[in-house]
């Protein structure tokens, strides 16, 4: 099967905007906290989040022991590997801006798209803000690093490329294995994966609820700024 058809097949299994939107949320009130030194891996905040939370990455407090546990699982099997968290809570303003610019682009390409169909088309590239995981504080972007702190080759950087699909067979065998190692460590700690992005995992958001067949998500979107 050629690359384009294989990726189309993988895409057909991804969650749609409508699937996310159908999941109710009952926020459990778990507070946002910064990932502190109790997580012994690396933390490096995105430039775009600095105006909101500085150098710190915030997540719902329930994620802290899970991140510690994922790192422990990883280090038990691969002592030379470590985890680096590069994104947690994302202010909805950032998500809204990115979404709006993609929406404009897609609407220009196909002016017949309207309402939920338009949202669905944009959602394939950027999560619709009201269902997105990062603004809930329940989603994290994580990478593997070596003992010297260097990023390990995961096939792509954190960007919008189809080679970032976790199960892409069009990547190095070593890279494929590293993605599975990261995924297994995070899943063992209770996170849900995203098949379209090897770095994205979540707990308590709609994606997590869908993956683990929960009747509702635990975390609603928040507007938080230091
Ligand atoms: Zn993410």
Q: Which domains does the chain have, with CATH numbers?
A: 3-211 (3.30.1380.10)
Q: How far is the CA of 114 from the centre of ligand 1 (A)?
A: 26
Q: How far is the CA of 221 from the centre of ligand 1 (A)?
A: 14
Indicate whether 161 pLDDT > 90: no
- CB-based contacts of 128, cutoff 8 Å, min separation 6: 17, 20, 21, 99, 119, 122
Indicate whether 160 pLDDT > 80: no
pLDDT for residue 63: 98
Q: How far is the CA of 111 from the centre of ligand 1 (A)?
A: 29
What pLDDT digit, counting tens, does each position of 165-200 carry? Answer: 988 889 999 999 999 999 999 999 999 999 999 999
- 8 Å CB contact between 52 and 91: yes
- 8 Å CB contact between 161 and 152: no
Q: How far is the CA of 75 from the centre of ligand 1 (A)?
A: 23
- Band the pLDDT of 125: cuts 50, 70, 90: confident
Q: How far is the CA of 171 from the centre of ligand 1 (A)?
A: 21
pLDDT for residue 11: 87
Q: What mean pLDDT do residues 100-129 have?
A: 92
Q: How far is the CA of 198 from the centre of ligand 1 (A)?
A: 9
Q: How far is the CA of 87 from the centre of ligand 1 (A)?
A: 7
Q: How far is the CA of 157 from the centre of ligand 1 (A)?
A: 12
Q: How far is the CA of 205 from the centre of ligand 1 (A)?
A: 12
Q: What mean pLDDT do residues 124-149 have?
A: 94
pTM of the model: 0.94
Q: How far is the CA of 140 from the centre of ligand 1 (A)?
A: 6
pLDDT for residue 162: 87
Q: How far is the CA of 92 from the centre of ligand 1 (A)?
A: 13
Q: How far is the CA of 98 from the centre of ligand 1 (A)?
A: 13
Q: What percent of the chain has pLDDT above 70?
A: 100
In the structure encoding, which two tokens stand for residue 73, read together?
Answer: 């699982």
Indicate whether 144 pLDDT > 90: yes
Q: What is the sign, positive or negative, of the torsion defined by CA atoms of 93, 96, 98, 101?
A: negative
pLDDT for residue 157: 87
- Band the pLDDT of 159: cuts 50, 70, 90: confident
What pLDDT digit, counting tens, does each position of 28-83 carry? Answer: 999 999 999 999 999 999 888 999 999 999 999 999 999 999 999 999 999 999 99
Q: How far is the CA of 139 from the centre of ligand 1 (A)?
A: 6
């Amino acid at each position: 099967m050629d690359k384009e058809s294989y990726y189309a097949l993988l895409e057909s299994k991804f969650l749609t905007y409508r699937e996310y939107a159908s999941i109710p949320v009952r926020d459990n009130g778990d507070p946002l906290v910064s990932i502190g030194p109790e997580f012994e891996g690396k933390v490096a905040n995105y430039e775009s989040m600095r105006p909101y939370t500085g150098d710190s990455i915030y997540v719902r407090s329930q994620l802290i022991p899970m991140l510690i546990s994922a790192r422990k699982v990883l280090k038990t099997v691969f002592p030379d590997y470590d985890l680096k968290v590069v994104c947690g809570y994302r202010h909805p303003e950032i998500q809204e801006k990115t979404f709006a610019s993609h929406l404009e682009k897609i609407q220009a390409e196909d002016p017949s798209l309207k309402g939920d169909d338009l949202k669905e088309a944009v959602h394939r590239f950027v999560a619709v803000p009201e269902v997105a995981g990062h603004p809930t504080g329940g989603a994290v972007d994580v990478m593997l690093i070596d003992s010297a702190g260097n990023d390990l080759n995961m096939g792509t950087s954190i960007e919008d490329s189809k080679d970032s699909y976790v199960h892409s067979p069009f990547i190095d065998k070593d890279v494929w294995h590293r993605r599975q190692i990261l995924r297994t460590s995070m899943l063992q700690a209770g996170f849900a994966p995203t098949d379209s992005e090897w770095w994205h995992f979540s707990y308590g958001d709609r994606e997590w609820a869908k993956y683990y067949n929960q009747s509702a998500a635990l975390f609603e979107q928040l507007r938080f700024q230091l």
